[in-house]
Chains A and B, each alone.
Chain A
Amino acid sequence: DFQMTQSPSSLSASVGDRVTITCRASEGIDIYLAWYQQKPGKVPELLIYAASTLQSGVPSRFSGSGFGTDFTLTISSLQPEDVATYYCQKYNGTPRTFGQGTKVELK
Chain B
Amino acid sequence: EEQLLESGGGLVQPGGSLRLSCAGSGFTFASHAMSWVRQAPGKGLEWVSALSSHGAFTNYANSVKGRFTVSRDNSRNALYLQMNSLRAEDTAVYYCAKDRGTSRPDAYDMWGQGTMVTVTS
Shortest beta-carbon distance from A49 to chain B in Å: 4
Residue numbers in B under 8 Å from A85 (CB-CB): 44
Task: Assess whether B114 is in contact with A91, with CB atoms less than 8 Å apart.
Answer: no
Sort chain B's interface into a size bin: 20 to 34
Sort chain A's interface into a size bin: 20 to 34
Shortest beta-carbon distance from B17 to chain A in Å: 23
Q: B45 at interface (Cβ–Cβ under 8 A)? A: yes
Knowing A43-B95, A43-B111, A43-B112, say if A93 contacts B47 (CB, 8 Å).
Answer: no
| Complex Cα–Cα for A93 and B113 (A) | 25
Per-residue interface assignment for chain A, residues 84 to 107, with 1 indicating a CB less than 8 Å from any chain B CB and 0 otherwise: 010101011111111111000000
Looking at chain A's contact residues, is the secondary structure mostly helix, strand, loop, or mixed? loop
Knowing A49-B100, A87-B45, A101-B45, say if A96 contacts B50 (CB, 8 Å).
Answer: yes
Interface residues of B (CB under 8 A from A): 35, 37, 44-47, 50, 59, 61-62, 95, 100, 105-109, 111-114
